[in-house]
Amino acid sequence: MVPYWRLSAYYFFYFAFIGAFSPFFTLYLKSLRFSAWDIGVLMSLMQVMRLLAPNLWGWLADRLGAKTPIVRGAALMSIFGFSCFFFTQSFAGFFLGMALLAFFWSAALPLVEALTFTHLGAQASRYGSIRLWGSIGFVIAVLGLGWLLDRLSLSATLWVSLALLGGILACALALPEKREARHETDRLPIGDILHRREVKALFAACFFMAAAHGALYVFYSIYLVGRGYSTTMVGFLWTLGVVAEIVVFLILPRLLHVFSLRAILLFSFACAAARFLMIGWGVEWLAVVLVAQLLHAATFGAYHAAAVAAVNRWFAGRHQARGQALYGSVSFGAGGMLGGLLSGWAWDALGAELTFTLSSAFALTGMIVLWRGWRSSAADVLS
């Protein structure tokens, strides 16, 4: 039987932490008078560690033949790293704390994704019904903290985020282990899979998609507040995007039976190219901002679900954990690092509008790479 609620609870707290941390921690850093470059560097550490750490943890999970001990240890050490923020206001102190937090926190999600698909087995299309609880957690955290920060100081971000990290640890302790079933690809070196044309195309495209989101995750809240939006409204806008994402996860089983993974991904990239232009040049018009946030359903929800499903299909059996780790490293790690650092430079040098235009160009590049490198196939539709 699939441990639906234990897996769902983990996703709930994991993404609730992101909902508290990602939109509002940058505002806290800005209140400490860090520059845009400093903020970009600090937030990019999350992506740097996603480039390095998941591969180490994925390799270790394959060696141990178990994922949950690493997930639990990572949760505990993430709390230790985050606690550094309570004792410093210097750039060096925040750099150290962020590096520790990111190194361990980035270890968990690829392993939990692999664990979820192992539990689901032939029911892979049910992934969305579990993953949507992460989106619900994000919504509750971003709305609740946005409302709270209109009434309390920005330092409340630290306390709420720490509590959510505690929830992640509690859920990690409850996760049940499950080993992958033997697969015909187990004897193949992982390099043979990586050399496939469609695998290289997907990973390259995901790199550009993550780079496209760099400015959104680092500067979107700062951009909105600077243009007169309240923190409550900022929380609402983040929530709107995630609610749209939840709808996609609910209808995902039907989508995956009708449309190919490739078609879903290409549509998502096209939506991302349009979305970032709308954010960059249409922030003065609330209606434009609202539509842009609704496109989050495609640019993250449909995109991420289709990408992890493809990785799960290609990296089966004993390669599953490392496959998900590589996906996270190449996209959220390398691509996110480039997007975060480049947006930190562009924000001061070029301005917000051109920074988000650059994000749109990254998404368009990813779409072209995917379209040319991954040839369509009827087998891409999940049965």
What is the pLDDT confidence band of residue 193, given thresholds at 50, 70 and 90? confident
- The answer to whether 262 and 380 have CB atoms below 8 angstroms apart is yes
Task: Please report which residue ranges of 83-155 form alpha helices under DSSP H.
Answer: 91-120, 127-149
CA distance 327 to 51: 10
- Write down the pLDDT at residue 13: 95
What is the set of domains in the chain, with CATH numbers? 4-176+189-380 (1.20.1250.20)
pLDDT in tens, 257-312: 888 899 999 999 999 999 999 999 999 999 999 999 999 999 988 998 889 888 88
Compute CA distances 289 → 5, 142, 236, 282, 308, whole Å: 34, 17, 11, 7, 28
pLDDT digits (tens, 9 = 90+) for 221-234: 889 988 888 878 88
* pLDDT score at 72: 92
In the predicted structure, residue 187 carries a pLDDT above the cut 80:
no
At residue 100 the predicted structure's pLDDT band, cuts being 50, 70 and 90, is very high
pLDDT in tens, 312-347: 888 876 677 777 777 877 777 778 778 888 888 888
Question: Is the CA virtual torsion 331, 335, 337, 339 positive or negative?
Answer: negative
Q: What is the pLDDT of residues 48-91, one digit of tens each?
A: 787 777 777 777 877 777 888 899 999 999 999 999 999 988 99
Judging by beta carbons within 10 Å of its beta carbon (0-12, 13-18, 19+), is residue 361 exposed, middle or buried? middle
DSSP string, 176-241: PP-PPPP-TTTTS-HHHHHTSHHHHHHHHHHHHHHHHTHHHHHHHHHHHHHTT--HHHHHHHHHHH
Q: What is the pLDDT of residue 232?
A: 80
For CA atoms 271, 277, 280, 283, the dihedral sign is negative
Number of residues in the chain: 383
pTM greater than 0.75? no
